[in-house]
Amino acid sequence: MKALGIAATGMLAQQTNVDVIANNIANANTTGFKSGRAAFQDLIYQSMRQEGALTSTEGTSRPVGMNVGLGVQSAGVIRLNTQGGLSQTENQLDMAIEGLGFFVVNRPDGTQAYTRAGSFQLSAEGQIVTLDGYEIDPGINVPDNTRQIEINQEGVVMAYVDSDPVPVELGQLTMATFLNEAGMKPIGNNMLEETTASGEPTLVNPGEPGVGIIRQGYLENSNVNIIQQITDLISAQRAYEMNSKAIETADAMLSTANQIK
């Protein structure tokens, strides 16, 4: 009897499910966080009787087969790439992307990562950096004595320096889009990496057709729907219990078998 092992795969799957839900709930207030969902698939089947096998010399064949499944497996965690709500912060270096695209971040090791969390700061050298101090790409230097920074929807960064009423253009922010955003790998600190599944990044300017625009002074909230997460948590718990019931039953059957005298 394989029921014990099969039910165990079911319990493991629900544990993964609860882990993913817990991570979503923990990140409900993380800027730019995208909610994840554990996705399950049925495991392979063991064929006990082959359908179509001949049952007589006259050529009659078995219309149905006997295939016993071996449980369930996690196929992955799907990130839900919907737009998060925007909240106004009035911080002039806070930027939210409305639509598709990611900010490009230069990591200290020379590689690039991508983020939707636009809570940027100025470094000691006047660079626009992430909360971890990583420079955004292309690097933008803000001169000393800047009164105010203006970033328009197309990502052009302008600064009002000293008492000059005419702004100085500092640079153009670019964004990256991916063929398969769901294939990007989350690496923590609000950042994602490209993978072979996501495809190569396409660099675009904000506001181009099909690409998002930048909203200065806003941050993108996480897209975690707390009510949904709580109801998912309840059903995961019940599914876990149901699988443990299957283990109990299989156990009782084996104990019955042991008592035959």
Footprint of another protein on 98-157 (CB under 8 A): 100
**7 to 34, 46, 74, 213, 241: CA distances (angstroms):** 31, 16, 14, 48, 10
Assess 54 for contact with another protein (CB under 8 A). Answer: no
Give the residues across from 98 on adjacent strands.
213
Within 173-212, the residues that bind another protein by CB under 8 A are 177-183, 196-197, 199, 202, 209-210
- Token pair in block for residue 228: 């949904």
- DSSP letter (8 states) at residue 56: S
Q: Which stretch binds another protein (CB under 8 A): 18-26, 33-41, 88-96, 108-116?
A: 33-41
For residue 44, state whether it binds another protein (rule: CB under 8 A): yes
Q: Is 85 in the site for another protein (CB under 8 A)?
A: no
Stretch that binds another protein, among 6-14, 24-32, 112-120, 214-222 (CB under 8 A): 6-14
CB of 180 to another protein, least distance (A): 4
What is the rounded CA–CA span in Å between residue 96 and residue 83? 10
Among 22, 26, 42, 172, binds another protein (CB under 8 A): 42
CB 28 within 8 A of CB 224: yes
Return the range that interacts with another protein (CB under 8 A); candidates 42-50, 123-131, 132-140, 163-171: 42-50
Of 99 and 217, the one with the shorter C-beta distance to another protein is 99
Total Cβ atoms within 10 A of residue 22 = 12
233 forms part of the interface with another protein (CB under 8 A): no
158 makes contact with another protein (CB under 8 A)? no
Query: What residues pair up with 116 in beta bridges, in sequence order?
Result: none
Q: Which stretch binds another protein (CB under 8 A): 2-10, 102-110, 118-126, 155-163?
A: 2-10
How far is the CA of 233 from the CAs of 21, 36, 107, in angstroms?
7, 13, 36
Task: Say whether residue 49 binds another protein (CB under 8 A).
Answer: yes
Would you say 69 and 42 are in contact if contact means Cβ atoms under 8 Å apart?
yes
Q: Does 230 bind another protein (CB under 8 A)?
A: no
Does position 17 interact with another protein (CB under 8 A)? The reply is yes
Going by C-alpha positions, the residue among 112, 85, 80, 82 that lies closest to residue 96 is: 85
